[in-house]
Amino acid sequence: MSTTTVDVLIVGAGPVGLFGAYYAGVRGLSTAVIDSLSQVGGQVTAMYPEKEIFDIAGFPAVSGRKLISNLVEQAAPYNPTYVLGQEAQDLQRVSDEQGRERLVVTTSGGETINTGAVIVTGGIGTFTPRTLPAGEDFLGRGLEYFVPSSAEYAGQDVVIVGGGDSAVDWANMLHPIARSVTLVHRRDKFRAHHGSVAQMESAPVEVVLNAQVTETVGGDRLESVTVTPKTKGEEPHSIPCTRLVAALGFTANLGPLREWGVELHDNRHLVVDPAMRTNVTGVFAAGDITEYDGKVRLIAVGFGEVATAVNNAAVHIDPDAQLFPGHSTDNQPAVPQPA
């Protein structure tokens, strides 16, 4: 078991958490960032890395991948410690040698993080994809639940299962490079944005409605799938498939955070005050996971919230610190150190 000691622990490595790591560095605070996913970026990296985002200040348009890359680069001079593929679990309070209260968080990997404050930026909490029972045997050998990179789909026969935004976005993203793209949806109407659906329907994407993938066939790798129509009288048929993407949505769970004693709204969001403090001393929150009167769940809003949380966390850690951090133009950014 290893112990990491930092000023601030950020729970969640999505866009808001990454900006928080940068801002903590500006305040001279050391930071660890923990996330249950094995890579940074949260839902942006996992679900729409190639999709253009249009409401980030200063960027007329930026892909999800580029946004995350820029945020990592922005935080890099301050050397945040990333603890990935692990979940924040137990929260305890201890006192240091000077009698100051510290928080100790134990991770699902058995690590401990000793910190002066915690900022939860976990979006919707830990999210787990809904499984495709017919394809589980090929998980990692043709079946995937996310498309973090389009490159490996080049020249492949791709079948996408689902009717939401992710399914349609991935169909639009992959058809220019794949050998073929087929989208199978068990209903006759889509939940996805109508503009994205119209784009897909005008593209060379085979759309199969009122049907399900009921069988996967192959050896070491996936080779084909069986599609079974729900309409009586229509027979199942096989189509080539070397890449199967199950975009069936996901389940979200606050997990161990529920045991921290944080006040919840609708059993899913953390209630915060204007300083982004929760009711648990030393625990702050920012981004989509928070709730307060007038809350708007946008990445742009989360950036401001996490800056507020970091500045108030700085004062919590050191009551003599100034709440206002000064302007970034007055401070020379840190220079990244060679690895």
Same-domain check for residues 145 and 212: yes
pLDDT more than 70, % of the chain: 95
Same-domain check for residues 117 and 233: no
Same-domain check for residues 231 and 263: no
Picking from 189, 223, 248, the residue at the C-terminal end of a domain is 248
> pLDDT at position 114, please?
97
Q: Backbone dihedral region of 323: left (phi > 0), alpha (psi from -120 to 50 degrees) or beta? A: alpha
> pLDDT at position 334, please?
59
Instruction: Please report whether residue 275 resides in a domain.
Output: yes
* Residue bearing tokens 């058995």: 110
Of the candidates 120, 108, 111, which has an alpha carbon nearest to the alpha carbon of residue 9?
Answer: 120
Picking from 223, 248, 273, the residue at the C-terminal end of a domain is 248
Average pLDDT over residues 218-231: 95
Same-domain check for residues 83 and 53: yes
pLDDT tens column, 191-203: 988 989 999 999 9
Q: How confident is the model at residue 255 (pLDDT cuts 50, 70, 90)?
A: confident
Q: What angle do CA 75, 80, 84 make, to 5 degrees?
A: 110
Instruction: Please report whether residue 9 resides in a domain.
Output: yes
Residues contacting residue 76 through CB under 8 Å, at least 6 positions apart: 336
Instruction: Please report whether residue 335 resides in a domain.
Output: no
Instruction: Please report whether residue 287 resides in a domain.
Output: yes
Domain hosting residue 174, numbered range: 131-248
Alpha-carbon Rg of the chain, whole angstroms? 22
Same-domain check for residues 121 and 257: yes
Instruction: Please report whether residue 55 resides in a domain.
Output: yes
Instruction: Please report whether residue 338 resides in a domain.
Output: no
Same-domain check for residues 7 and 123: yes
Binding residues: 35, 43, 48, 88, 127, 288, 329
Same-domain check for residues 151 and 237: yes
Same-domain check for residues 72 and 114: yes
Three-state secondary structure of the chain: CCEEEEEEEEECCCHHHHHHHHHHHHCCCCEEEEECCCCCCHHHHHHCCCCEECCECCECCEEHHHHHHHHHHHHHHHCCEEEECCCEEEEEEEECCCCCEEEEEEECCCCEEEEEEEEECCCCCEEEECCCHHHHHHECCCEECCCCCCHHHCCCEEEEECCCHHHHHHHHHHCCCCCEEEEEECCCCCCCCHHHHHHHHCCCCEEEECEEEEEEEECCCEEEEEEEECCCCCCCEEEECCEEEECCCEEEECHHHHHHCCCEECCCEEECCCCCECCCCCEEECCCCEECCCCCCCHHHHHHHHHHHHHHHHHHHCCCCCCCCCCHHHCCCCCCCCC
Instruction: Please report whether residue 83 resides in a domain.
Output: yes
pLDDT at 218 over 90: yes
What pTM was computed for the model?
0.79
CATH of the domain at 217: 3.50.50.60
**Choice among 13-22, 38-47, 114-123, 255-264 with the minimum mean pLDDT:** 38-47
Instruction: Please report whether residue 229 resides in a domain.
Output: yes
Same-domain check for residues 204 and 255: no
Burial class (CB in 10 A: 0-12, 13-18, 19+), 309: buried
Average pLDDT over residues 53-67: 93
> pLDDT at position 336, please?
54
290's tokens: 């928070």
Average pLDDT over residues 213-223: 96
Average pLDDT over residues 308-320: 97
Binding residues for FAD: 35, 43, 48, 88, 127, 288, 329
pLDDT at 286 over 90: yes
Q: How confident is the model at residue 37 (pLDDT cuts 50, 70, 90)?
A: confident
Q: How confident is the model at residue 90 (pLDDT cuts 50, 70, 90)?
A: very high
Same-domain check for residues 119 and 255: yes
Q: Contact 241/223 with Cβ under 8 angstroms? A: yes
pLDDT tens column, 291-307: 999 999 999 999 999 99
Average pLDDT over residues 254-262: 89
Quote the number of domains for the chain: 2
- Integer Cα distance of 314 and 325 in angstroms: 9
How many Cβ atoms from other residues are within 10 Å of residue 238's Cβ?
A: 12
Same-domain check for residues 117 and 9: yes
Same-domain check for residues 63 and 115: yes
Q: How confident is the model at residue 337 (pLDDT cuts 50, 70, 90)?
A: low
Which amino acid, one-letter code, is at 212? Q
Picking from 248, 267, 293, the residue at the C-terminal end of a domain is 248
205's tokens: 């994407």
pLDDT at 206 over 70: yes
pLDDT at 53 over 80: yes
pLDDT at 14 over 80: yes
pLDDT at 96 over 90: no
